[in-house]
Amino acid sequence: KILTGQFRIGGMTCAACVNSVEGILRKIPGVKRAVVALATSSGEVDYDPSIISKDDIVSAVEDAGFEAAFLR
Ligand code: 9UX
């Protein structure tokens, strides 16, 4: 089963950041789809919770120097 999660993301200041964060997310095993929006400082991922948790997704993004927090 695939879940969709929305998150806020901080620390993105240019379009290259968006590509960077999307690249990070798409490389995480268990993440099936990732889109990030600079204008709204937000993003969305489809992920398999049997492979990856929200906490692990947040950790991967924060390891790259950004801040991330799922909405719920
Ligand atoms: Mo843009 Mo983002 O120059 O980490 S790539 S600020």
We report the CATH number of the domain holding residue 48 as 3.30.70.100
What was the pLDDT predicted at 72?
75
Q: List Cβ neighbours of 55 (8 Å cut-off, separation of 6 or more).
A: none
pLDDT tens for the chain, 72 residues: list them: 999 999 999 999 999 999 999 999 999 999 999 999 999 999 999 999 999 999 999 999 999 999 999 997
Domain that holds residue 15: 3-70
- pLDDT at residue 42, as a whole number: 98
Q: How many CB atoms lie under 10 A from the CB of residue 13?
A: 9
Predicted local distance difference test score (pLDDT) of residue 70: 98
Structural domain total, the chain? 1
Ligand 1 and 64: CB distance under 6 A: no
CA nearest ligand 1 atom 2, residue: 17
14 CB under 6 A from ligand 1?
Answer: yes
pTM here is: 0.93
The reported pLDDT for the residue numbered 53 is 98
For ligand 1, what atom is nearest to the CA of residue 19?
5
Ligand 1: distance of its center to the CA of 17 in Å? 5
